[in-house]
Structure 1
């Protein structure tokens, strides 16, 4: 099968009517003409900086800010300048940001002054400059503009960092084609229109969050980014901004259903979309009852291939636990344990082929080889596929159902979290000698983070128990904080001497 045609991702700024709203920020609204103007000016400023500093072609430029002008313009402006965008989640701590900057080889980080001030000299890699976002905007808009990109579809456009099973965040390499076709596919199956208004509540540093912007612009609609502290602010924004499209993850939907929704807010919503974890039948039923006229789209995705499946809203009431079928431009194969493709009634690993498959992990050929492998012989696309490690079952009707994850990753509040990163943070405090982190089912979080720890002998149990929660809060963002810390004098080991993670999980589950 031949991949569909694509264009450079920065051309998304040209998709809507020039006078129509494209970006509705807290302090201003940009039309599509003004969006294109801003993208061109920021791209020209970046290209000038590249020439001035003598950076190599394809230089990485990071952004670290809330959902303002900079964070929304960078995904289009950086690739237009021939560079690679590295968005950083604003909730990450300095040590995590330092890893991303160092690993990506970023030559510049542009961000909020309050965030940049938290970085020490040791956090900044050699040759990486820090620029405050307001100063960047003023300088860019005072200069010239750059014409739309002529990049090749396979040119690298972005590196999105996601936690991996070995602990350290790994950078997923996305091309112009990956981003363009992802936007086109989502706009197509969601049936987005030019009069749609998408409330962008999810972090823009993740594929699902970034696509809120890109798919809306592909359809010529308006993106309305929002940073919020409390779920009631989301409800208010839906009503005030006349929102038609709302994307979320299961824990957010739980919080939103606990809020009081006005008739005006409910009336404007045309569609609700979910990824980042299965909704489950009770949550599906609750959403359908609260928003009976909105079309509900359960979806499954992974950063390495963006989005894999969606369930048609017409089938949600009858099949509430399904993750649906392949999205446009995706081929989904269920590989049985014997290495052969499965069919209706079979269970196996979800394998994703097609032009949405990313280019691998940045500067990590070993981990790339583990997940990005040749497609099965039955594939219509051929080439490289992502072997997800997730198990699914194909129903007799051809719909897919999520079974479980084969690795130990934790999915809490819509975030994919590495247990090792939590364990490393605990050990780095010097308060514990050993630690094991894992997730257990939780109605609000999807999975609650549990950690079993043994106090460092020189510290003592009383001091360790008193000080560890505060030390963890300084080291990790809120969504990675253990909800429960269980203290033990000894941690069990298996036959090889490794800590018995599975045994610990069973013990905590049985005691709950």
Structure 2
């Protein structure tokens, strides 16, 4: 039984070494080859002096080398940090500095975009570049050594032995937007990752014959789960960086895909495409927000033989609940019940379990509870809290994830999402911090009144509206602010609409900007205009 992240591959490789593990751009990598590259790169990491639990960042699109780099970090007793390829240089630099990354794996093109910010990453000492040639014109800090992917794999026999590691050790850090601006690093143990893979692959009934299309970022817990659940059972993962929804339709057809995961805005687009009458899809999964009923109904018509799993999860616990496909027609608005090996409790403000249909906070307990937020004791204490004691004889408290999400549980134990306690915006499945958007715009032009809020959008779930106050000393230009946002923020964080007002923004009783009031004001903006 695997006990460390990379040993998940060992088990599958032992069963079928020549079976395809990864497919990318019409080329297969079998399990034996994948395992060999993982071991070689792990040695490359060790040759670069990586030590137990030190961090290795991977800033790449979905491709086999990204998967190799993650598993190799585990084999070297280090921890991997997958960085969203959509992030801009300043955001990448923040992550590299925040978790003291020692080694960065990237491409020459992406490295060029980072050259101006690498000096702000004092712990970074090595960069492994995929390309066979490293551009000599790149001016890297003198403290950073660069080498090619081939060089990193070359001297495996010279590497020292990795320090011993156990399943409670840190295996990965996934960065997710925080409600106060800067992203938070969710620390996951080997146990977290393996328990999540085992649980999800069990209820999806994944088999070695499955072919899973991976279209979501590997920095997203939902996207990473596509890889871990498939490889844990010896299935094949088809890695894809799509441009248009029709590209996904073609890939599903030509690659004989059996499993496909997406977020609601992508499902909406896929439901509008022209699909072949016959499909190999065995199941579809949804997370990152509620799937609209119209989209669900359209998918049922397009794929009558496929099971549809409606799921709910949070990075702090990787995956929490799913709705059995047999219940989808009867309860399409439910997020289901706890996944195998997890208990979900609805707690009231007094810390007691709620009665049936009483609204309360969703609390997640079990082996998937993360180790906390990297380098942030205050935020960790807010989200990872002890459960009320259940047995007097157990003196040590159990730490659970208090999600911040308000839900209710009916008499049959099915959960229903009600809302969030914070101001996070969910755009196309991504969690966006309002203050991170506000800070970028405020850096461009000094503002005393600025607010980013999320409002309903027919394609993206939510879209960002940025409201700015203009006074006599300012001459705000919408297009200039939009261009600055596009330069500094990934596409999903760029405001969909910028509204300039002359009056003060509304305030709540605490004197803070009343985001709820602004949300109400713009509630129907994208639903009744042609801007969607």
1:201 maps onto 2:200 in alignment: no
Structure 1 position 501, deviation (Å): 2.2
Q: TM-score, normalised by structure 2?
A: 0.90
Corresponding residue for residue 392 of structure 1: 407
- Deviations 1:179-211, CA, capped at 9 Å, x for gaps: 111111111010000100000000001111111
Structure 1 position 115, deviation (Å): 1.3
- The alignment partner of 2:6 has SS state of helix
Structure 1 position 308, deviation (Å): 0.5
Structure 1 residues without counterparts, runs of 5 or longer = none
CA contact (8 A) 2:456 2:523 kept: no
Task: After TM superposition, list the pairs within 5 Å mapping 1:71-220 onto structure 2.
Answer: 71-124=66-119, 125-128=121-124, 129-135=126-132, 136-144=148-156, 151-220=165-234
Structure 1 position 150, deviation (Å): 5.6
CA contact (8 A) 2:440 2:488 kept: yes
Task: After TM superposition, list the pairs within 5 Å mapping 1:235-274 onto structure 2.
Answer: 235-264=249-278, 267-274=279-286
Corresponding residue for residue 141 of structure 2: none
Corresponding residue for residue 402 of structure 1: 417
Structure 2 residues without counterparts, runs of 5 or longer = 133-147
Corresponding residue for residue 60 of structure 2: 65
Corresponding residue for residue 447 of structure 1: 462
Structure 1 position 290, deviation (Å): 1.4
Structure 1 position 433, deviation (Å): 4.4
Corresponding residue for residue 480 of structure 2: 467
Structure 1 position 35, deviation (Å): 1.3
Q: Distance in 2 between matches of 1:487 and 1:338?
A: 42
Q: Distance in 2 between matches of 1:282 and 1:130?
A: 47
Counterpart selection for 2:378 from 341, 344, 366: 366
Change (3 A) 1:131 1:27: farther
CA contact (8 A) 1:431 1:468 kept: no
- Deviations 1:340-397, CA, capped at 9 Å, x for gaps: 1124322211000011000000011110000001123349996210000101111122
Structure 1 position 432, deviation (Å): 4.6
Corresponding residue for residue 358 of structure 2: 346
- The alignment partner of 1:107 has SS state of strand
Q: Distance in 2 between matches of 1:140 and 1:101?
A: 20
- The alignment partner of 1:66 has SS state of coil
Structure 1 position 82, deviation (Å): 1.1
Corresponding residue for residue 309 of structure 2: 297
Larger mean Cα displacement after TM superposition, 313-322 or 352-361: 313-322
Structure 1 position 212, deviation (Å): 0.6
- The alignment partner of 1:509 has SS state of coil
Corresponding residue for residue 38 of structure 2: 39
Corresponding residue for residue 430 of structure 1: 445
Corresponding residue for residue 488 of structure 1: 501
Larger mean Cα displacement after TM superposition, 298-307 or 142-151: 142-151
Cα RMSD, aligned residues only: 2.1
- The alignment partner of 1:302 has SS state of coil
- The alignment partner of 2:48 has SS state of helix
Change (3 A) 1:376 1:443: farther
